[in-house]
Chains A and B, each alone.
Chain A
């Protein structure tokens, strides 16, 4: 069935380091890949997304890369700051529908 795997489940870095979170998906028809950030007790919020017609997208300290052949995509955060600490979820669209399947989340902790 449709599945998105996300790794690692937890990630601890020092302030200023880079963080990388990786996801793989199973549906070859997936064409939209958003990343959401969820702070403790808050709602998930979109931080960046990528569509299948591009291989990389960057927004300030955040970048996402997509490898459609291998069916995996990654989130890169550079120069991490304590306020980046949160749970990050990747997701992939399913076929031609609006449905998203989410990964299980990565808890990122940035220590000052």
Chain B
């Protein structure tokens, strides 16, 4: 079946512009996660959705970052007034929500470059 998809695959923007990154989780997966991976670094947790609500937003780096999820499916990560330090690969993952931890399936990521 279809895996997690993300769009765009690459995004180049100018400093100060806003960007929107999209994630389509696996059908039926109620849990959705956003991570950031800087070059050669690990995965930095940003936010987690359970259905349409976000019980954990603790990883969002600043108030320029926000995310929403509608219909329990597609999620959008928005970065306002982008800065050069926002350049990274943004990864989305989804999993079944069963009360136990389940495998997180990752998307291919969006590579964001802020000039």
Q: Which residues of A contact B (CB under 8 A)?
A: 6, 31-32, 34, 36, 42-46, 49, 51, 89, 91, 93, 97-105
Secondary structure at the B interface, as helix, strand, loop or mixed, is strand
For A36, the chain B residues whose CB sits under 8 A away are: 106
Given contacts A34-B103, A44-B91, 12 further A-B contacts (CB under 8 A): A32-B100, A34-B104, A43-B109, A46-B103, A89-B43, A97-B48, A98-B31, A98-B95, A98-B101, A99-B56, A102-B44, A104-B42
Count of chain B residues with a beta carbon within 8 Å of a chain A beta carbon: 24
Q: Give the shortest distance, in Å, between B28 (CB) and chain A (any CB).
A: 16
A102–B106 touching, CB < 8 Å:
no
Given contacts A31-B101, A44-B91, contact A100 B41 (CB under 8 A): no
For A49, the chain B residues whose CB sits under 8 A away are: 101, 103
